[in-house]
Amino acid sequence: MTGPKPRRGLCLVLAAPSGAGKTSISRALLAAEPDLHLSISVTTRAPRAGEQDGVHYFFRTRPAFDAMIEAGELLEWADVFGQRYGTPRAPVAAALARGEDVLFDIDWQGHRQLRAALPGDVVGVFIMPPRREDLVARLRARGDDRDEIARRMAEAEAEIAHAGEFDYCVVNEVLADAVATVRAILQAARAATARQLWLAP
Ligand code: 5GP
């Protein structure tokens, strides 16, 4: 047999406590993996400096967000830091059917719901900072104020408590190494026999 083999796409979920370097890892992954597409979430939180609607998030009011829940347009959603975040359903279903892979930057609640909604399609990776102090340092460098840092540290502890629900745990000591490990996980997941539509069941 020659040529590319038909394969079902997969959902690569990256979750992490704030400040673990998840955004850097997902940026590097997207740059290195042309066949991996980022799922753009909907959120009720205000845009940060430099964030654009439709690029980083779809920024929506609370009533507009809740209307999407009502209409069944979200694959999963959760309250995080007092704001709502959710994953639009249609782009994910279309990508998986086309055999494309989707990257999700969501929290543990989203990961849990996604696994339930798409059994067999989800590969969960939890990114850990090597040391607790690194979390605070990275949050400071990002310019969050003191209250925000304290709140996010508490949320970080809560997020870490769910690390065991993920398939893999990658410690982000050196960014390039962490990216290489996540890419290796992605390559292996793509090769799983269950995703090869051309193989006899
Ligand atoms: P931030 O406000 O810093 O962009 O994101 C805060 C947290 O919300 C992060 O942990 C991020 O992964 C999570 N998050 C972003 N989008 C979604 C989503 O669509 N669903 C869920 N469950 N969490 C999300």
Query: Quick check: 107 and 159 in contact, CB under 8 A?
Result: yes
26 lines ligand 1 (CB under 6 A): no
The two three-digit tokens of residue 44, written as one number: 């009720």
Domain membership of residue 123 as a residue range: 11-195
Give the residue, by CA position, lying nearest to ligand 1 atom 23. Answer: 106
Whole-number Å distance, alpha carbon 43 to ligand 1 midpoint, is: 8
Question: What CATH number should be reported for the domain holding residue 15?
Answer: 3.40.50.300
Residue 200 in domain: no
- Residue 148: predicted pLDDT: 81
Taking Cα atoms as reference points, which of 179, 163, 81, 172 lies closest to residue 135? 172
Whole-number Å distance, alpha carbon 196 to ligand 1 midpoint, is: 31
Residue 39 in domain: yes
Residue 5 in domain: no
- Residue 4: predicted pLDDT: 77
Whole-number Å distance, alpha carbon 17 to ligand 1 midpoint, is: 10
Residue 3 in domain: no
Residue 172 in domain: yes
Query: What's the structural domain count of the chain?
Result: 1
Residue 110 in domain: yes
44 lines ligand 1 (CB under 6 A): no
Residue 2 in domain: no
Taking Cα atoms as reference points, which of 50, 119, 106 lies closest to residue 79? 106
Query: Best substitution site from 22, 26, 38, 41 to test ligand 1's pocket, by max atoms within 8 Å of Cβ?
Result: 41
Residue 97 in domain: yes
Ranges under pLDDT 70 in the chain: 1-2
Considering the entire predicted model, what is its pTM? 0.92
- Residue 1: predicted pLDDT: 54
86 lines ligand 1 (CB under 6 A): yes
